């Protein structure tokens, strides 16, 4: 069964709707996207005999939880791809973070929802060297909404623990970095990348997810599409944010046809 599983990773910037997208993808019986196991970063460090540390652009929670639950698996003599499948399938069947345990006997795609990490060039190279050809699902959201979401994230004010010390322009620079990493996956690494705008997912969920499933060569029922549509809650009440869009950010904005 393992040989028939294709790695599938959500890529882009944090606070772009990747948790929401992961839950939608998991409605399909042939897809499982874990809730932040940090699996690629974990395996990259393990197979390169590095000390386990959090990713430079993320917190430690997913990595620490995976090590707490699955460290003993790392003692086995498996290839990186076999280890990836084993840990991810255990996370699926055990339940991980906020995700309930589940089984999917017809599983075809397996991955993780950690968009900034998954786009990291060194992890993309690690996958290319050790995994069968991967699929990447690029979720992009307008940078003003991303920055606004970052600064409202977590307990307290001004972005909680992750973004409280970052200015809005610094977060915008991180967004540009993540999007440029995705561009590298497409053009330098020449990997299969499916683009999805968050705004299209919310406003046209059926058309958006039909396009995703079609690109993954998966069948789907009308009832599945209706379930997806019924999960969408549209909220157009957004507070204004004063953010100077840099030239680099504007290039990305125009690339994905934002006004």
Express each pLDDT in 130-177 by its tens digit: 999 999 999 999 999 999 988 887 555 555 667 778 899 999 999 999
Express each pLDDT in 196-238 by its tens digit: 999 999 999 999 999 999 999 999 999 999 999 999 876 555 5
Q: Give the model's pLDDT for residue 238.
A: 58
| Residue in 138, 168, 176 with CA at minimum distance from that of residue 152 | 168
What CATH number corresponds to the domain at position 192? 3.40.50.300
Identify the band that residue 33 occupies on the pLDDT scale cut at 50, 70 and 90.
Answer: very high
State the residue range of the domain holding 19: 2-255
Q: Give the model's pLDDT for residue 1.
A: 52
Q: Give the model's pLDDT for residue 154.
A: 58
Sheet with 6-12: list strands edge to edge. 31-34, 109-112, 6-12, 135-140, 192-197
Rg of the chain's alpha carbons, rounded to an integer?
18
Q: Give the model's pLDDT for residue 241.
A: 79
- Higher-confidence residue of 15 and 2: namely 15
Identify the band that residue 239 occupies on the pLDDT scale cut at 50, 70 and 90.
Answer: low
Question: Domain tally for the chain?
Answer: 1
Q: Give the model's pLDDT for residue 43.
A: 98
């Amino acid at each position: 069964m393992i040989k028939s599983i294709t790695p599938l990773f959500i890529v882009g910037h944090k606070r772009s709707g990747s948790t929401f997208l992961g839950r939608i993808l998991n409605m399909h019986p042939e897809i499982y996207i874990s809730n932040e196991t940090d699996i690629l970063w974990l395996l990259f460090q393990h197979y390169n005999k590095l000390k386990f540390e959090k990713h430079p652009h993320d917190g430690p929670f997913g990595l620490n939880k995976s090590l707490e639950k699955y460290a003993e698996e790392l003692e086995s003599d498996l290839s990186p791809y076999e280890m990836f499948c084993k840990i991810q399938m255990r996370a699926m069947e055990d339940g991980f973070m906020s995700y309930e345990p589940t089984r999917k006997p017809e599983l075809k795609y397996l991955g993780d929802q950690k968009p900034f990490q998954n786009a990291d060039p060194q992890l993309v190279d690690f996958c290319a060297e050790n995994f069968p050809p991967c699929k990447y699902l690029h979720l992009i959201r307008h940078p003003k909404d991303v920055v606004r979401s970052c600064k409202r994230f977590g307990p307290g004010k001004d972005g909680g623990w992750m973004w409280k010390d970052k200015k809005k322009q610094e977060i915008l620079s991180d967004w540009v970095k993540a999007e440029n990493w995705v561009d590298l996956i497409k053009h330098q690494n020449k990997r299969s990348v499916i683009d999805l705008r968050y705004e299209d997912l919310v406003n046209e969920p059926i058309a958006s997810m039909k396009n995703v499933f079609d690109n993954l060569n998966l069948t789907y029922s009308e009832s599945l599409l209706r379930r997806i549509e019924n999960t969408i809650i549209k909220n157009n009440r957004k507070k204004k944010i004063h953010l100077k869009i840099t030239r680099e950010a504007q290039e990305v904005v125009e690339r994905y046809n934002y006004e």
